[in-house]
Amino acid sequence: MKLFIAYRDAPERRAALSKPAGDPERYRLFGLDEFEARGATVRHNLERAVPSWARATGGSVNRLVHSSGAYGGDFASMIGSLGAINSADVVFSTVDTVGLPLVLLRQLRLVRTPLVYVAVGLPERLVQLRRLERLYRRALCDVRALVSYAESEAGWLRNWLGPDARIAFVPFGVDVGLFRPLEREPEFDVVSIGADPRRDFGLLLTVAARRPEWSLRLVASAEHGRSLGDVPSNVTIETDIPLAAIRERLAAARAVALPVRDNSYSGATTTLLQALAMAKPVVVSRTDAIATGYGLEDGLNCRLVPPGDSGALEQALVETLTGADAAAALGIRARETVERSLTWERYTNALWELLVR
C-alpha cells in the first residue's frame, strides 16, 4: 500500500523524523514505523520544503476561507504535496490543521485519494463557523473515516454531521515497553507535563502556593512557560524537553498531576497514558475526552477530579501523597489497565484497519 501521512509542521516532529526507527521520539509520528513494518510505502508532507508557488497559493486560499468566516489551515503544505497525495492509495491526516485543507481540496477535486482524518478539537472549530456549514458537513462526510481519540467528541460529531458520516472512536495508545515502571528515587512530590493549550497549569500553581511543603516540577511548552509569569518558590519549570527526558521526569515523581480545562477533545491523554503505563498514581481532570472509553475509574486506577476545581485537585493530591500503599495499588492497577486495552500496538492496529478498509 502507498500511504501519505499529513503532519502538522512542528520542530519536534521534524526532529522525530530525523531519528532512527526505535528512537523514543518516533512516538510522535502516529504509527509511521508500524505502517512501514506492515509493508506500506510511506510518504509525508515534511519530506521537502514547501515550494514558493504553493506557499503563495496556500496563503491566498487561507485568506479567502477566513474571509468567509470559515476555518483553513496548512493549505500551502497540502497544495505543495498534491502529486504525492494523489499517487497514494490512502491519505492519513493526523490533525485538523492539515485535515481541513485536505477535505476542502477534495471538494474541489484537487485531492482524489481516500482520506482517513483524525479530529483533534474539531467541535470547537465547527461551532464557530459563521457560514459554509453545509460545505463543511459535505466535506467531512466525504472521507473514508473520521477518527476521534475521544468517545465524547465522536458522539458530538455524529450528531453534527448526521447519518452519512463515517466516524470511528479510536482510543489513543502508549508504548508499554518504552513507558514502563522504573526504579527511581523521588526527586519531586508532584510532576505535571504537557504542551496542549488546554492544560490548566494555573490551577496547579494555585495549589502549589497553598502547599509550600510540596516540591513540584512543571514540564511545558516554551509558550506555556512564558505565560506562567512568577511562580511559587517550590515550583520548577522546564520547557520543550525530549521524550526520553519526559520519561525520566515521570519516573522521578511521587505523583503526577494533570489539570485540564473543560473541553471536548483533551484529557492530557498522551501524558496520562504514559504515566499510567509507568504505574504512577495520577490525578487528572475528568474532561469528557477521558470520562468514557479509556476504562478509567476514580480511586481504582487513577484519581479523577472536576476541571477547574483547585480544592478537589489539592485534596486528591493530599490523599495520594500521604497514602503510600493506596498510591502504589493505584499505580499497579493503572499499568494493568493500559496493558489490557491501551497499548500502542492496539492503537496502530486500529488505525491500520481504517487505512486498508
pLDDT tens for each residue of 15-37: 999 999 889 899 899 999 999 99
Right CATH for 188-341 from 3.40.50.2000, 1.10.10.10, 1.10.287.1770, 2.60.40.10? 3.40.50.2000
Q: How confident is the model at residue 335 (pLDDT cuts 50, 70, 90)?
A: very high
CATH code 3.40.50.2000 region(s) in the chain: 2-172+344-356, 188-341
**pLDDT (tens digit, 9 = 90+) per residue, 137-157?**
999 999 999 999 999 999 999
Amino acid 340: pLDDT: 97
Candidate from 61-70, 94-103, 109-118, 209-218 with smallest mean pLDDT = 61-70
Right CATH for 2-172+344-356 from 3.20.20.70, 3.90.1150.200, 3.40.1010.10, 3.40.50.2000? 3.40.50.2000
Residue with cell 498522551: 270
- Does 292 score more than 80 pLDDT? yes
* Averaged confidence pLDDT in the chain: 95
- Does 182 score more than 90 pLDDT? yes
Report whether 195 contacts 10 (CB < 8 A).
no
Candidate from 2-6, 130-134, 272-276 with smallest mean pLDDT = 130-134
Q: 179: closest CA among 299, 311, 271, 56?
A: 271
pTM over 0.85: yes
- Does 69 score more than 90 pLDDT? no
